[in-house]
Chains A and B, each alone.
Chain A
Amino acid sequence: RKEVEQDPGPFNVPEGATVAFNCTYSNSASQSFFWYRQDCRKEPKLLMSVYSSGNEDGRFTAQLNRASQYISLLIRDSKLSDSATYLCVVKGQAGTALIFGKGTTLSVSS
């Protein structure tokens, strides 16, 4: 079983749509959780950290459920510029590496 699993998509949505991505992780000792964004042929960039209390950054809302080891990302009012691959990422204790999911591809069209 992979450490971090995501639906690869692709998700094809029109501008203005709301889209949700889900992710599960297998290591219950994971301590930190993130969503990264990766554009084609580029390095991943941090989109937001994810907390159990849920957190929001503009049109983006992330949620963590430690009991079910489930992470979500909600994007509201999708923009063309949101088209990218969204990577679910977990991390263990300090000094350990980020562990990436395969990513979910989003394509927003006009």
Chain B
Amino acid sequence: GAVVSQHPSWVICKSGTSVKIECRSLDFQATTMFWYRQFPKQSLMLMATSNEGSKATYEQGVEKDKFLINHASLTLSTLTVTSAHPEDSSFYICSGSGSYNEQFFGPGTRLTVL
């Protein structure tokens, strides 16, 4: 399958700081990127869907001003958690989808906010 990289793989930050997570499709063009969040012992919950060059569509209950998504190119999408708080600590996973409609997952970013 296609390869999606995610960086950083883990990050620890202080409350109130912002954290940027990068998601890159390495060998295909991801026209759509999906961002998920997974809390311990919970399912992956879709946060938002972004199509290249368009504004992201956020799921109900996800604050668009807190979770900023940029998908400016077909190979890169970023998620910025602004003014992070301990309750934002979670496993964030991106997933890219191209012309074949399959979804390929990044390895995830584990965020811990102190």
A interface vs B, CB < 8 Å? 4, 8, 41-46, 87, 94-103
A41-B43 contact in complex given A95-B101, A97-B49, A97-B103, C-beta closer than 8 Å: no
Q: Given A44-B93, A98-B103, A100-B44, output 7 extra A-B contacts at Cβ < 8 Å.
A: A4-B43, A94-B101, A95-B101, A97-B46, A99-B46, A102-B43, A103-B43
B91 close to chain A: CB less than 8 A: yes
B residues contacting A by CB (< 8 A) are 1, 32, 34, 36, 41-46, 49, 91, 93, 95, 97, 101, 103, 105-108, 110
Q: In the complex, what's the smallest C-beta–C-beta distance from A44 to chain B, in angstroms?
A: 6
Do B101 and A44 touch (CB < 8 A)? no
Q: Is the CB of A87 within 8 A of B91?
A: no
The interface centre, meaning the residue of A41, A46, A97, A102 with most chain B CB atoms within 10 A of its CB, is A97
Q: Are A41 and B103 in contact (CB under 8 A)?
A: no
B34 touches A97 (CB 8 A): yes
Task: Give min CB distance, A107 to chain B, whole Å.
Answer: 14
